[in-house]
Chains A and B, each alone.
Chain A
Amino acid sequence: MATEAHGAEGGGLVFHPMDQFIVKPLFGGDAIGLFTITNVTLWMGIAIVAIVALMVLGTARRATIPNRTQSVAELAYVFVYKMVEDVAGKDAVGFFPYVMTLFMFIVFANFLGLLPMSFTTTSHFAVTVVLAMLVFLTVTIVGFAKNGAKFLGLFWVKSAPLPLRPVLAIIELISYFVRPVSHSIRLAGNVMAGHAVIKVFAGFAAIATISPVSVLAITAMYGLEVLVAFIQAYVFTILTCVYLKDALHPSH
């Protein structure tokens, strides 16, 4: 019975849109321990190699007139540097390498995930929650270290009328703790949803009559995903800068 059911499923339309997200050990075995080398390890390693290729090998010539690769590396540098400086303030440039690390990892993980047959590390909550918690902890620790108890002024809206302030304080407190949740789910959710939708359309491509539509839809979705891959990295980074500004200048 069970076998037959499976056979029937295999012959018709089979959607496994979420199978692309399964974490698998690369060198056999089923169990995934803490140090098991998996496809996560592989694609994070590829991200490191790509980042080194762009940011280190691409700038190895240190040319005053840059070639294309060096231009892209400089563009990324200036893009994130300006973001940190403009959004978080001049005194936040000390956090620039940290923010740059987050941005480069997310943008490369997102774009590498767009390669066919690849594994998208940023589609996993395990990854994005850690990234968001890193930002949350950094902001909280830096906020208290730099401003002491004054950091709590972030929740006490001085510009609001006095009776409203306790209510606003509760809302601000909740929104502060929701930040890492939204921060992480926004990134993983966007990336996962897009990839899953592409897989669903790919499943429809097996039916001859609607396969042209399906292929068109995949193309369109892929274009959108290229956009999303960059925009989500940008959003994550700029929100990090906004939170850093809160930590450095907690007054509203």
Chain B
Amino acid sequence: MATETHAADAAQGASAPGMPQLDFSNWGNQIFWLMITLIVIYFVLSRIALPRIAAVLAERQGTISNDIATAEELKAKAVDAEAAYNQALADARIEAQRIIAEAKAEIKADLAQATADADAQIAVKAAEGEKKIAEIRAGALEAVQAVAADTAAEIVAAMGGKADEKAIGSAVADRMKG
């Protein structure tokens, strides 16, 4: 019993000062293990962990800036492509305008040609017609003269006269002139 109490007392005696932190007998031990711990951590961090993390972070930074550069490049390409497309569109429009103008001019020329041809043909036809009309008119005058002379001769004969053919002809010609 007594020994147990003593043991308990002794155990408590070790921690009795209230704060085990102020028990200087084990400071050497703690400091020894702390130094070992710090040295181990220092070497693990400075030799392995920190360079590795620094490399990973730098690599990530590189990847990100690379990606951004690539994106910029692609964007510039897209802008270029758009410009080229617009240029092509404008060119095509100008070409189309040119073709339309050419076609228009051609059609106009054809039209003018056709009109001129038609006019010429019409003129020819009209001249022909006029000539025919003149011929017909001339023919008619002659026929009228002949009929008038015949009729006059018949009338003179019927009236019992003896008609001189020459006199009748000149008389008919005179009348027709008048």
Contact = CB atoms under 8 A, between A and B. Distances in A.
Interface of A: 2-3, 6, 18-19, 21-23, 32-36, 38, 40-41, 44-45, 47-48, 51-52, 55-56, 59, 62-64, 66, 70, 73-74, 77-78, 96-98, 100-102, 104-105, 121, 123-127, 130-131, 134, 188, 192
A3 B1 contact: yes
A37 to B, nearest CB: 8
Interface string B4-29: 11001100001100111111011111
B34 A126 contact: yes
A167 B83 CA distance: 76
A25 to B, nearest CB: 9
Contacts of B44: 48, 51-52, 55-56
8 contacts: A18-B15, A18-B18, A19-B20, A21-B21, A40-B29, A74-B53, A77-B53, A102-B38
The 4 tightest CB contacts between A and B, nearest first, are A55-B49, A97-B46, A126-B30, A44-B37
A130 B34 CA distance: 8
Given A35-B29, A78-B57, A100-B50, 8 more contacts: A3-B1, A19-B20, A38-B29, A44-B34, A44-B36, A126-B30, A130-B31, A131-B34
Contact of A23 (B4, B30, B35, B52): B30
A180 B14 CA distance: 28
B42 interface: yes
Contact of A64 (B8, B14, B59): B59
A126 to B, nearest CB: 4
Interface in B68-89: none
Interface residues of B, number: 45
Nearest to B57: A74
Contacts of B46: 97, 101
Contacts of B22: 125
**Chain B: interface secondary structure?**
helix
A59 B41 contact: no
A2 B5 contact: yes
B56 A64 contact: yes
A55 B25 CA distance: 34
B45 A101 contact: yes
Interface in B117-160: none
Given A19-B15, A105-B41, A125 B21 contact: yes
Given A18-B19, A47-B37, A48-B40, A6 B5 contact: yes
Nearest to B36: A44
B18 A51 contact: no
B123 to A, nearest CB: 93
B30 A105 contact: no
A70 B48 CA distance: 14
Contacts of A100: 45, 50
A47 B37 CA distance: 8
A81 B20 CA distance: 36
Contacts of A35: 29, 32
